[in-house]
């Protein structure tokens, strides 16, 4: 079942790249007591994700956070090393936290997994954005296949 507005975010753990190497962060640490924008991309270093999606959130991070958002996080079904390298290459810094959902378990828990095996990518996460208030979904924006509109930084900023 797909997550809906008003639902509590499922429990889980993401891998993150820290200054001293791979680490982990729980969903409780990310979402509890905070307003979070979580967006998902089908894959790090893929065209739309690297040219528009992540850069848009990096560019608009200050504006988004000025609307009361504590954390902007990008989730992808990639390993922690790929997500770390992608964040570094993109200049995410402290503006956008990169979350590795290496086995796609969290995408599946949200009901937002994507079968990208036709592209040789296996199971991934759909392109979407959520606004989460203290662990509860207040906005859910899932893209139609091949689209990039409702999960963009500009769209989220307009709707905060």
Active site residues: 49
d(CA 97, CA 74): 6
d(CA 11, CA 109): 9
3-state secondary structure at position 85: helix
d(CA 19, CA 50): 22
Rounding to the nearest 10 degrees, give the CA dihedral for residues 146, 56, 82, 9.
-80
Q: How far from the centroid of its chain's Cα atoms is residue 150's Cα?
A: 14
Q: Closest Cα to residue 5, out of 111, 108, 141, 127? A: 141
């Amino acid at each position: 079942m797909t997550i809906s507005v008003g639902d509590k975010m499922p429990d889980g753990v993401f891998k993150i790249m820290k200054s001293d190497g791979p680490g982990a962060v729980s969903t409780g640490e990310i979402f509890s007591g905070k307003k979070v924008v979580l967006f998902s991309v089908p894959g790090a270093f893929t065209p739309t994700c690297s040219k528009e999606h992540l850069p848009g959130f990096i560019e608009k991070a200050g504006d988004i956070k000025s609307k009361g958002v504590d954390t902007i996080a990008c989730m992808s079904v990639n390993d922690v090393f790929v997500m770390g390298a992608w964040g570094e290459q993109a200049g995410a810094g402290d503006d956008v936290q990169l979350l590795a959902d290496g086995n796609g378990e969290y995408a599946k828990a949200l009901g937002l997994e994507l079968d990208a095996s036709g592209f040789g990518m296996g199971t991934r996460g759909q392109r979407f954005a959520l606004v989460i208030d203290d662990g509860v979904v207040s906005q859910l924006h899932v893209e139609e296949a091949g689209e990039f509109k409702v999960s963009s930084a500009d769209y989220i900023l307009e709707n905060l």
